[in-house]
Amino acid sequence: MRDLLAKLASVAIMMFARALTAARALWHESGLPPRQSVYFANHSSHGDFILIWAVLPPWLRQRARPVAGAEYWLKSKLTSFIGRDVFNAVLIERDPAARTSDPVEQMASALDEGASLIVFPEGTRNQTEAKLLPFKSGLYHLARKRPDVALVPVWINNLNRVMPKGEFVPIPLICTINFGEPLKVEPDESKEDFIARAQAALLSLAPAQTDNDA
C-alpha cells in the first residue's frame, strides 16, 4: 500500500509541477543526456529537484534520485514520505558532527546501484543577488570516484519567482530547464580548475540579464 501511495503521489506532484510552471526542457544540441548521469544545477528553492525530475523523459526519470538535506526531509512524517518513498532521495547529513556516513560515498553507492543523481553543488539555496554561490567540493570528489559518469549542467530559470522566499502560495509562471553538454573530470585536472569549469558550464546556460531583471 505504501508503494502504491508513493507512485500515486509522484504522478500527482509531477502533474502539479508541470501545470504550475508550464515547465519546458531545453536539451543540448547533442541530444538527451546519457542514461546514467549526475545532473548538477543551480539552487534557489526546495522545488528545484522536483522540476528537473518532472521534465525528464520517463526512462530517465525512473532512475533519477535527488541528493538532499536529511534535516529538512526527515523533519516530519509527510516530508519523510515524500523524500524517502516518493523520490527515493539520497539523504545527506549536512552537519559534519551529525554524520554517520560520508556523503560522497553515499552518492557513489547510489551510482553503483544504477541511479542517476540530481545534485546542487552550491550546497544550500541561493538567496543572494549573485547567479551562483561558490561550489562545494563534493561534485569534484564524486567525479573523481566515478569518472565515467557524465556530469550534466542544468540551469533552472524562474522557479525562484514561482516560489519566492517567505511565500506559501506559489505564483504560476513559465519555467525553463536548460540542459547543457555533459562533461567529465580530466585525469590531471585540479579541484580548483574542475570547479571553475563546472561553474562556467552552468552559468553559460543562464539567460542573459536584461534591464527589467536588474
Residue 61: burial class (beta carbons within 10 Å; 0-12, 13-18, 19+): middle
User: Is the residue at 94 inside a domain?
Assistant: yes
Q: What is the CATH number of the domain that holds 136?
A: 3.40.1130.10
Contact 153, 208 (CB under 8 A): no
Range of the domain at 127: 1-160+172-204
User: Is the residue at 136 inside a domain?
Assistant: yes
pLDDT tens readout for residues 35-76 = 999 999 999 877 789 899 999 999 999 999 999 988 888 889
pLDDT tens readout for residues 67-125 = 998 888 888 999 999 999 999 999 999 888 778 889 999 999 999 999 999 999 998 88
User: Is the residue at 70 inside a domain?
Assistant: yes
51 DSSP 8-state letter: H
Contact 133, 152 (CB under 8 A): no
Distance in angstroms (rounded) separating the CA atoms of residues 43 and 1: 33
Helices (H), 22-176: 48-55, 58-61, 70-73, 77-80, 103-112, 138-145, 159-162
Cell of 144: 573523481
Cell of 90: 539520497
What is the total count of domains within the chain? Answer: 1
Contact 80, 96 (CB under 8 A): no
Question: Which residue in 181, 182, 203, 183 sits closest to 194, CA to CA?
Answer: 183
Model pLDDT, residue 214 = 40
Predicted model pTM: 0.89
Distance in angstroms (rounded) separating the CA atoms of residues 4 and 25: 28
Provide the pLDDT confidence category of residue 16 given band limits of 50, 70 and 90: confident
Contact 164, 51 (CB under 8 A): no
User: Is the residue at 212 inside a domain?
Assistant: no
pLDDT tens readout for residues 162-175 = 444 544 445 445 78
Strand partners, 39: 118, 152
User: Is the residue at 185 inside a domain?
Assistant: yes
Provide the pLDDT confidence category of residue 158 given band limits of 50, 70 and 90: low
Q: Is 12 helix (H, G, I), strand (E, B) or coil?
A: helix
Distance in angstroms (rounded) separating the CA atoms of residues 87 and 89: 5
User: Is the residue at 5 inside a domain?
Assistant: yes
Q: Please, what is the Cα angle at 17 between 162 and 182, to 5 degrees? A: 90
User: Is the residue at 145 inside a domain?
Assistant: yes
User: Is the residue at 13 inside a domain?
Assistant: yes
Model pLDDT, residue 210 = 41
